[in-house]
């Protein structure tokens, strides 16, 4: 067939000339050359306010120096009465939610869900999904795809490649787990609007390949208290104002260190949401150091993670640093903040589950005031901070909003342009977690059934189950090389998707004494923490033992044995925490405690055992005991 050459000589000549013209164009249009503008009007009043509230032009980028106009979808100021980042304005959760509900009502690109649990003070935690309208309409299909990639036991490589091609990367942002860090809930509203209405190629690319999930506020109780106190201080400048004692009802700053214990509703919500959506990335927004620290960490890194995860932290961080630095934004850096070792953080709902957990620290003023700030240590130039923050700066809430929003937009655009790569990595990490049993080992962990603290052992495996770890129960005695365990023992197999998290928490934590001091030193060897026996099993034969999967939480009940007409009852002291609960259940029963160990027949009872004499107790004491131990 006679075809014209793809590059005839004349057009080739033009191609050489063209880049120079393009270069001139880039210079002439300045910062706007980075992301192509939408053929769409901007909201001039809103955009003017953005410029007014930003203290220096280099604290905004072409991504956030304007707000696109929409005649259908309300921008935040239409609902709240003020522009995001207005000095002295912080938004309560009820108003954040009012805005998101208006957004979802008017845009098919926004959907709203409620997290499974309410907060300790009864507040709702929302989850917002933003994406292409066709993608949001098929959200269940995209959830199905990520869940299949998360468990390669049921997905072969050919199928996985098709799923990766069809799938979307889910990028999940979470705001203000730390209540004095006030900027992210404001920023996320504007981001959601921008993602829903802007028609620039940059934002369209995000909508095409990424579904953005937003948790507007993680610590909902603390957020509202923080806004209360901020407003009180503003209204009463001459009065002493209280400070926040805790952020939430029970916990202050360590609410982001609940990843191991899952004691807080916010952590359990995040874990449950992760297991429902399997987002490729969870990005938690914090505010402390100037101007934008993007997490990688100094190391030592957690040795149980797949090394790909560590690479992905660097990949995303350096993309943001390069792009923001190119735009002339000062003070964007990485490395020197935390280490990356301890798995206690909330964002281990991602890192511990084959996804990417990351965070920002941006510069916050602890409220919404514009103020002069002095930067000391972080103004130092270093290899990881060649373009350091300025030592003196006038800083505003809007600056903070601009930094966070520009950074996350760049990250989401990068993930959109590399969607298959991130989904592929997720699949590979999931596969390698299943291969752990036969690759690096161990083959399994066993929690033996013959141990004294059976309730605590059940509680421990239930915690693992809450983290998405599968737990089996031996239906027959397990006999492997040098080890025997009775039927009823719990088995945590290492050929499952979340083997790494389970192995990390059951193995002995390790810190090399030659490494610098860790950022957090958190005990995480669950067996030792709970005084529960655990056994590391390397013999792969354990995987062929007969066992059944727990489909509900493990539960231990007590029982009363011996003759009906008893002189008394003895409850052995086995150091279970539930002995205290039992005592309170039997508050009207007289109970003695043995001062020394003793034997009845062949049965040994420990010091501290409860002795309940029939004499001196209600006639129905046996019945009460039977009810209480159930
Ligand atoms: Zn924080």
- Residue-wise pLDDT tens digits, 304-329: 999 999 999 999 999 999 999 999 99
Query: If you measure from the C-alpha of residue 244 to the centroid of ligand 1, how many angstroms do you get, rounded to a whole number?
Result: 14
Looking at the predicted structure, is the pLDDT value of residue 17 above 90? no
Look at residue 39 in the predicted model and tell me its pLDDT: 75
The two structure tokens encoding residue 608: 């501290």
**Model confidence at 10, in pLDDT bands (50, 70, 90)?**
very low
Query: If you measure from the C-alpha of residue 344 to the centroid of ligand 1, how many angstroms do you get, rounded to a whole number?
Result: 14
Query: If you measure from the C-alpha of residue 515 to the centroid of ligand 1, how many angstroms do you get, rounded to a whole number?
Result: 25
Look at residue 141 in the predicted model and tell me its pLDDT: 98
Looking at the predicted structure, is the pLDDT value of residue 249 above 60? yes
Neighbours of ion ligand 1 (CB under 5 A): 178, 181, 286
- Looking at the chain, the number of H-run helices and the number of E-run strands are 20, 22
Query: If you measure from the C-alpha of residue 274 to the centroid of ligand 1, how many angstroms do you get, rounded to a whole number?
Result: 20
Look at residue 630 in the predicted model and tell me its pLDDT: 83
**What are the residues facing 372 on neighbouring strands?**
394
Mean pLDDT, residues 340-368: 97
Residue 245 to residues 179, 227, 520, Cα–Cα distance (Å): 11, 14, 22
Letter string b/e over residues 295-331, b meaning 16 or more CB atoms within 10 A of that residue's CB? bbbbebbbebbbebbbebbebbbebbbebbeebebbb
Look at residue 14 in the predicted model and tell me its pLDDT: 37
Look at residue 523 in the predicted model and tell me its pLDDT: 85
Quote the CA–CA distance of 325 and 441 in Å, as a whole number. Answer: 43
Query: If you measure from the C-alpha of residue 219 to the centroid of ligand 1, how many angstroms do you get, rounded to a whole number?
Result: 11
Query: If you measure from the C-alpha of residue 178 to the centroid of ligand 1, how many angstroms do you get, rounded to a whole number?
Result: 5
Query: If you measure from the C-alpha of residue 283 to the centroid of ligand 1, how many angstroms do you get, rounded to a whole number?
Result: 12
Mean pLDDT, residues 46-68: 98
Q: Is the dihedral of CA 595, 596, 597, 601 positive or negative?
A: negative
Query: If you measure from the C-alpha of residue 129 to the centroid of ligand 1, how many angstroms do you get, rounded to a whole number?
Result: 23
**Model confidence at 37, in pLDDT bands (50, 70, 90)?**
confident
Query: If you measure from the C-alpha of residue 174 to the centroid of ligand 1, how many angstroms do you get, rounded to a whole number?
Result: 11
Quote the CA–CA distance of 442 and 425 in Å, as a whole number. Answer: 23
Query: If you measure from the C-alpha of residue 380 to the centroid of ligand 1, how many angstroms do you get, rounded to a whole number?
Result: 22
User: Which residue pairs, CB below 8 angstroms and at least 24 apart, start in 573-579?
Assistant: 573/605, 573/606, 573/607, 573/608, 573/609, 573/610, 574/452, 574/453, 574/454, 574/606, 575/452, 575/453, 575/531, 576/452, 576/453, 576/454, 576/455, 576/456, 577/455, 577/456, 578/455, 579/610
Look at residue 69 in the predicted model and tell me its pLDDT: 97
Query: If you measure from the C-alpha of residue 182 to the centroid of ligand 1, how many angstroms do you get, rounded to a whole number?
Result: 10
Q: What is the pLDDT of residues 451-497, one digit of tens each?
A: 999 999 999 999 999 999 999 999 999 999 999 999 999 999 999 99
Query: If you measure from the C-alpha of residue 374 to the centroid of ligand 1, how many angstroms do you get, rounded to a whole number?
Result: 20
Query: If you measure from the C-alpha of residue 460 to the centroid of ligand 1, how many angstroms do you get, rounded to a whole number?
Result: 28
Query: If you measure from the C-alpha of residue 292 to the centroid of ligand 1, how many angstroms do you get, rounded to a whole number?
Result: 13
Quote the CA–CA distance of 110 and 115 in Å, as a whole number. Answer: 16
Q: What is the DSSP secondary-structure string of 513-533?
A: TTSPPPS------HHHHTT--
Query: If you measure from the C-alpha of residue 249 to the centroid of ligand 1, how many angstroms do you get, rounded to a whole number?
Result: 17
Query: If you measure from the C-alpha of residue 26 to the centroid of ligand 1, how many angstroms do you get, rounded to a whole number?
Result: 38
**Model confidence at 561, in pLDDT bands (50, 70, 90)?**
confident
What region does 465 belong to: left with phi over 0, alpha with psi -120 to 50, or beta?
alpha
Query: If you measure from the C-alpha of residue 359 to the centroid of ligand 1, how many angstroms do you get, rounded to a whole number?
Result: 9
The mean pLDDT value of the chain amounts to 93
Query: If you measure from the C-alpha of residue 83 to the centroid of ligand 1, how many angstroms do you get, rounded to a whole number?
Result: 24
Which of 45-54, 169-178, 292-301, 552-561 is the least confident region? Answer: 552-561
Query: If you measure from the C-alpha of residue 471 to the centroid of ligand 1, how many angstroms do you get, rounded to a whole number?
Result: 33
Quote the CA–CA distance of 264 and 262 in Å, as a whole number. Answer: 6
**What are the residues facing 360 on neighbouring strands?**
285, 294
Query: If you measure from the C-alpha of residue 12 to the centroid of ligand 1, how many angstroms do you get, rounded to a whole number?
Result: 54
Query: If you measure from the C-alpha of residue 433 to the centroid of ligand 1, how many angstroms do you get, rounded to a whole number?
Result: 30
Query: If you measure from the C-alpha of residue 521 to the centroid of ligand 1, how many angstroms do you get, rounded to a whole number?
Result: 17
Of 118, 116, 422, 136, give the one whose Cα is nearest residue 279: 422
Query: If you measure from the C-alpha of residue 358 to the centroid of ligand 1, how many angstroms do you get, rounded to a whole number?
Result: 12
Letter string b/e over residues 207-220, b meaning 16 or more CB atoms within 10 A of that residue's CB? bbbbbbbbbbbbbb
Look at residue 33 in the predicted model and tell me its pLDDT: 62
Q: Locate tokens 């192995």: which residue?
A: 503
Look at residue 501 in the predicted model and tell me its pLDDT: 98
More confident of the two residues 21 and 297: 297
Which of 111-120, 278-287, 508-517 is the least confident region? Answer: 508-517
Query: If you measure from the C-alpha of residue 361 to the centroid of ligand 1, how many angstroms do you get, rounded to a whole number?
Result: 7
Looking at the predicted structure, is the pLDDT value of residue 48 above 50? yes
Q: For the whole model, what pTM was predicted?
A: 0.93
Mean pLDDT, residues 285-296: 98
Q: What is the pLDDT of residues 215-247, one digit of tens each?
A: 999 999 999 999 999 999 999 999 998 889 999
Looking at the predicted structure, is the pLDDT value of residue 362 above 80? yes
Query: If you measure from the C-alpha of residue 336 to the centroid of ligand 1, how many angstroms do you get, rounded to a whole number?
Result: 16
Looking at the predicted structure, is the pLDDT value of residue 27 above 80? no
More confident of the two residues 598 and 24: 598
Looking at the predicted structure, is the pLDDT value of residue 189 above 60? yes
């Amino acid at each position: 067939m006679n075809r014209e050459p793809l590059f005839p000589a004349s057009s080739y000549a033009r191609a050489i000339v063209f880049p120079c013209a393009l270069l001139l164009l880039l210079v002439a249009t300045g910062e706007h050359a980075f992301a192509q503008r939408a053929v769409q009007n901007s909201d001039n009043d809103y955009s003017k306010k953005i410029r007014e509230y930003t203290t220096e032009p280099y604290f905004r980028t072409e991504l956030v120096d304007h707000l696109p106009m929409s005649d259908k979808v309300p921008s935040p100021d239409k609902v709240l009465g003020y522009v995001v980042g207005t000095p002295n304005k912080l938004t309560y959760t009820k108003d954040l939610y009012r805005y998101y509900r208006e957004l979802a009502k008017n845009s098919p690109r926004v959907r709203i869900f409620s997290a499974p649990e309410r907060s300790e003070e009864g507040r709702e935690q929302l989850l917002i999904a933003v994406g292409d309208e066709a993608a949001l309409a098929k959200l269940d299909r995209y959830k199905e795809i990520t869940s299949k990639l998360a468990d390669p036991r049921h997905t072969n490589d050919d199928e996985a490649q098709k799923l990766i091609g069809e799938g979307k990367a889910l990028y999940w942002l979470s705001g203000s787990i730390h209540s004095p860090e006030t900027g992210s809930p404001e920023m996320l509203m504007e981001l959601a609007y921008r993602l829903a209405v802007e028609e620039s190629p940059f934002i369209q690319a995000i909508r095409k390949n990424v579904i953005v999930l937003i948790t507007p506020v993680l610590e909902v109780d603390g957020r509202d208290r923080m806004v209360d106190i901020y407003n009180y201080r503003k209204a009463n400048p001459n009065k002493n104002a209280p400070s926040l004692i805790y952020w939430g009802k029970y916990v202050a700053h360590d609410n982001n260190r609940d990843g191991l214990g899952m004691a807080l509703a916010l952590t359990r919500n995040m874990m449950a949401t992760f297991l429902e959506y399997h987002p490729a990335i969870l990005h938690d927004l914090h505010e402390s150091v100037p101007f934008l620290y993007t997490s990688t960490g100094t190391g030592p890194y957690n040795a149980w993670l797949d090394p790909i995860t560590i690479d992905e932290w660097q990949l995303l961080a350096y993309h943001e640093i390069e792009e923001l630095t190119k735009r002339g934004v000062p003070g964007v850096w990485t490395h020197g903040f935390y280490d990356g070792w301890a798995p206690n953080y909330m964002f281990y709902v991602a890192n511990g589950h084959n996804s990417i957990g990351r965070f920002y620290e941006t510069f916050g003023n602890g409220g919404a005031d514009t103020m002069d700030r002095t930067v000391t240590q972080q103004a130092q130039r270093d290899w990881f901070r060649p373009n350091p923050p300025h030592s003196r700066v006038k800083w505003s809430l809007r600056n903070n909003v601009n930094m966070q929003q520009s950074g996350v937009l760049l990250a989401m655009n990068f993930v959109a342009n590399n969607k298959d790569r991130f989904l592929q990595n997720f699949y590979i990490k999931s596969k390698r977690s299943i291969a752990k049993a036969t690759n690096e080992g161990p083959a399994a962990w066993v929690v033996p059934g013959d141990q004294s603290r059976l309730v605590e052992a059940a509680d421990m495996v239930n915690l693992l189950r809450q983290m998405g770890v599968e737990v089996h129960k031996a239906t027959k005695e397990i006999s492997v090389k040098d080890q025997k365990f009775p039927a009823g023992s719990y088995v945590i197999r290492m050929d499952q998707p979340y083997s790494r998290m389970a192995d990390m928490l059951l193995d002995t934590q390790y810190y090399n004494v030659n490494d610098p001091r860790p950022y957090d030193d958190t005990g995480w060897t669950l067996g030792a923490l709970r005084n529960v026996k655990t056994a590391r099993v390397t013999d792969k034969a354990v995987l062929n033992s007969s066992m059944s999967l727990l489909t509900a939480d493990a539960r231990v009940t007590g029982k009363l044995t011996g003759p009906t007409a008893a002189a008394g009852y003895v409850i052995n002291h086995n150091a279970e925490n539930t002995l205290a609960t039992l005592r309170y259940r039997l508050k009207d029963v007289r109970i003695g405690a043995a001062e020394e160990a003793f034997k009845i027949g062949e049965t040994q009872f420990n010091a501290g055992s409860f002795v309940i004499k029939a004499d001196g107790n209600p006639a129905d004491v046996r019945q009460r005991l039977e009810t209480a131990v159930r």
